Amino acid sequence: MKSEAKQFFAPQAWVQGDWAYDVLLEVAADGCWSTVLPLATEQQQACTTRLQGPVLPGVVNAHSHAFQRAIAGLTERRGNGAGVADDFWSWRDRMYSAANRITPDQLEAIASQLYAELLAGGYTQVCEFHYLHNALDGAPYADPAEMSLALVRAAQRTGMGLTLLPTLYMRSGFTATGLRDDQRRFASTPESIVRVVEAVQAHTQGDARINVGVAIHSLRAVSPVALCELTDYAKRAALPVHIHIAEQTQEVDDCVTHTRQRPIEWLLNYVEVDERWNLVHATHTTAAELAGVQARGASIVICPATEANLGDGVFDLPGYAALQGTWSIGSDSHVTRRWSEELRLLEYSQRLTQRKRNVAAQTMGCTSSAAALLEAALVGGRNATGLELGGLKVGQRADFAVLDVQSPSLLGMPADHRLDGLVFSSPDARFDAVYVAGELAHLHNNAGFAAAMHALWGG
């Protein structure tokens, strides 16, 4: 995707970890920044497109299951019967009911709505951890990339950047030989995942907003042989690798029972984990495991809203930050769809467990918790996508969002506190406009979403 070079002028912009003023921003024809110049003169400002508010870098949403947008708000009632457990595993059964109904057209409509919402929330690239591969009866589609291409079309319709992660899912648990019937749409092999990757690459060639990686659903869902087969392919192809890991205590206990090691411990001992790897959740870890992840150059993807919604637990941010570990954020099941909410909940979960304030600022050596969190999320986003998405910096893709300073939470806010206000003052400040690779994205796209939801759930 190429376009003509563009010049913007921002009265205020977040550049290299702080606010800069009177900033000239030039986007080259390839959609990357060619100039980021604070304190631009009036002559340099001439003939530019003047942006109406402060500019923030676009943020990577490093973990998404788009189809789960269809159940946001629909799993918040307890199960029937006295003593019925309501936890991650009961939620998962309800989630499967959606997974086994959604058609490709419905997935495209749901993802289009979701991606527009994510753009409106300041995200400009989403890592789609995609395991909904097969037809409703579990049989492969004639085109194995049928469901994946529905997500690609949704991204292209809205202008969202997309890192598609076709996901390997082969068995229901460590001792199982296959999948449960309600997991039939997830069935895949290393070979089928490679076919999807190559099909999407061919379909999106030349689109700078879209790339691919691979994902392993979890250690319980694949054999060690299959895991290594797929990740060896990813290494040869220089693709990012994502995996759910150590999200739930039961998952950790099951792994110990069947391997005599904890999930991250096993992964680090038996797999060539490196900087392309992204460990999603890692909620239940030891200090040694976090040190091992950091030493390998791998990243962790934290999903604070979903981890709270599902009762997963709280990630050890102080311990990992002390190691200068790399992390990104994701909205996962999409109970929230703004990066400011995810960062706020990440900090507040730490304050609740540590009984302290400004935990991120303290552990990351910053004055501002919002600044510490945003900068860390930007660094981790590059690892999650394998793309140059590090903010307002020459050579990085020109992804940015324009804040509406008339938002109630920002009214009267001193200019140098606007990021703090965005993250820690509710209701959330609005973005007037969002750009991906220098192109204006579409923040409103609900065509077909209501009809898809009605077809799925009625009402």
- The rounded distance, in Å, linking the Cα atoms of 446 and 106 is 12
SS3 136: coil
- The rounded distance, in Å, linking the Cα atoms of 216 and 450 is 32
Give, as one character, the DSSP assignment of residue 208: T
Tell which phi-psi region holds residue 380, choosing left (phi > 0), alpha (psi between -120 and 50) or beta: alpha
CB 172 within 8 A of CB 180: yes
CA atoms within 13 A on the CB side of 437: 21
Q: Which residues of 207-244 are buried (b: 16+ CB within 10 A; e: fewer)?
A: ebbbbbbbbbbbbbbbeeebbebbbebbeeeebbbbbb
334 part of the active site: no
**Dihedral sign, Cα of residue 73, residue 448, residue 162, residue 232:** positive
- Residue 100, classified by CB atoms within 10 Å of its CB into exposed (0-12), middle (13-18) or buried (19+), is middle
Residue 48 sits at φ, ψ, to 5 deg, of -100, 165
Rounded CA Rg of the chain = 21
**H helix or E strand, kind and range, residue 199:** helix 190-203
Joined together, the tokens standing for residue 436 give 């991906």
**Count of CB atoms situated within 10 Å of the CB of 39:** 10
Instruction: Given the residues 65, 133, 244, 332, select the one marked as catalytic.
Output: 332
217 part of the active site: no
Instruction: Given the residues 65, 244, 281, 334, select the one marked as catalytic.
Output: 281
Annotated catalytic residues are 281, 332
